[in-house]
Amino acid sequence: MNEHSSGSARRTAPMPYRSARTPCGWQLPDGARIAVWVIPNVEFFPLDEDIPGGRGQAPDVPAFAKRDYGGRVGFWRVFDALAEHQVPPTTAFNREVLEAYPEVVSAMVDARWEFMGHCNTNNRLLSTMTAEEEARTITAVAEGIEGATGTRPRGWLGAGLHERWTTLQRLDEAGYTYVADWVNDDRPNSIDGTGLTSVPYSTEINDKPAFETWHMQSDEFADMALRQFEVLWRDSAEEPRVFAIALHPYLIGVPHRIDALRRLLGELRTREGVWWATGSQIEDCYRQTSSKSE
């Protein structure tokens, strides 16, 4: 067992180094060049806890209400836009959504969305937990999703993409098979000492930093995403790439932004050589076709 999987600190990433010029041999179905992966983050932020980015004291009504809008209203706009463009979403899912927004859960289950574990709530990061709390959280999320959907989740995205030194080992032990925290590549990779695959998420084509940090307009976000697609398309002449789009219903689902998402998805639907996939489909494809996967 290597340093990372044993819970000790290490100085390099927990996956083998592979430059962008080194092929791994993976291939997409039907000769596609880009896997488009759309990840709505369906989250809950309790009113009686401090909310990240808020004023640091509960109850923080403005911060809570902004996010609660996503579960009450914004989600349904995103849901309809994805259905309209026949997108197979992978939701990064807070377990406490099960109690907070039951109609949202039922809609995702009925539409056969893929569920990816995303902590109990985004108020609590794995990096702030004890080892025991981390293990309980990872297991509780898996059991909660399995109880609601009938299927144990294969994927994991940490709240805020945070991990402890022990997280990858705990995920492996709990039966997860891929993790999206490591945004250090445009292709999947195996994770040392585990049975996990790293599937590329995005902190760039992600509405949270785009709107809350960079203060972009909605059309600027859509245009940025299309520019990202064009470069990945060019790179994919050598080997397929993953184009991830991360969404948060409380942000992209507000009235003045939702049509920019529709425009983006509509434009991507006109492109050839695109495989619209879930996280587990991307992982399966990498494992089955890559000469470098373990």
Q: What's the length of the chain? A: 294
- Determine the Cα–Cα distance for residues 81 and 75; give it in Å rounded to an integer: 10
Q: What is the domain count for the chain? A: 1
Backbone φ and ψ of 243, nearest 5°: -110, 105
In the predicted model, what is the mean pLDDT of residues 152-156? 97
pLDDT exceeds 60 at position 195: yes
Is residue 14 a part of any domain in this protein?
no
The pLDDT tens digits for 116-140 are 999 999 999 999 999 999 999 999 9
Is residue 91 a part of any domain in this protein?
yes
- Determine the Cα–Cα distance for residues 206 and 244; give it in Å rounded to an integer: 8
Q: Which residues pair with 116 in a beta bridge?
A: 92, 155
- Determine the Cα–Cα distance for residues 133 and 80; give it in Å rounded to an integer: 36
> What pLDDT was estimated at residue 174?
96
> What pLDDT was estimated at residue 294?
43
Q: Which residue has the tokens 């369906």?
A: 42
Contact 142, 163 (CB under 8 A): no
Strands 197-198 and 189-190: antiparallel
Is residue 221 a part of any domain in this protein?
yes
- Determine the Cα–Cα distance for residues 90 and 269; give it in Å rounded to an integer: 18
Task: Band the pLDDT of 7: cuts 50, 70, 90.
Answer: low
Tokens of 197: 């695959």
Q: What percent of the chain has pLDDT above 70? A: 97
DSSP letter string, 133-187? HHHHHHHHHHHHHHHHHSS---EE--GGG---TTHHHHHHHTT--EE----S-SS
Domain range for 211 is 31-289
Burial of 230 (0-12, 13-18, 19+ CB in 10 A): exposed
The pLDDT tens digits for 221-265 are 999 999 999 999 999 999 999 999 999 999 999 999 999 999 999
Is residue 73 a part of any domain in this protein?
yes
- Determine the Cα–Cα distance for residues 162 and 168; give it in Å rounded to an integer: 11
Is residue 122 a part of any domain in this protein?
yes
pLDDT exceeds 60 at position 165: yes
Tokens of 230: 């064009």
Is residue 185 a part of any domain in this protein?
yes
- Determine the Cα–Cα distance for residues 73 and 56; give it in Å rounded to an integer: 25
Share the mean pLDDT of the chain: 95
Helix runs in the chain, H state only: 61-69, 75-84, 97-100, 102-110, 131-149, 167-173, 207-208, 218-235, 249-252, 258-269, 279-289
pLDDT-wise least confident of 31-35, 51-55, 231-235: 51-55
CATH of the domain at 74: 3.20.20.370
Is residue 121 a part of any domain in this protein?
yes
Tokens of 293: 């996967």
Tokens of 192: 């040392």
Is residue 10 a part of any domain in this protein?
no
Contact 172, 196 (CB under 8 A): yes
User: pTM of this prediction?
Assistant: 0.94
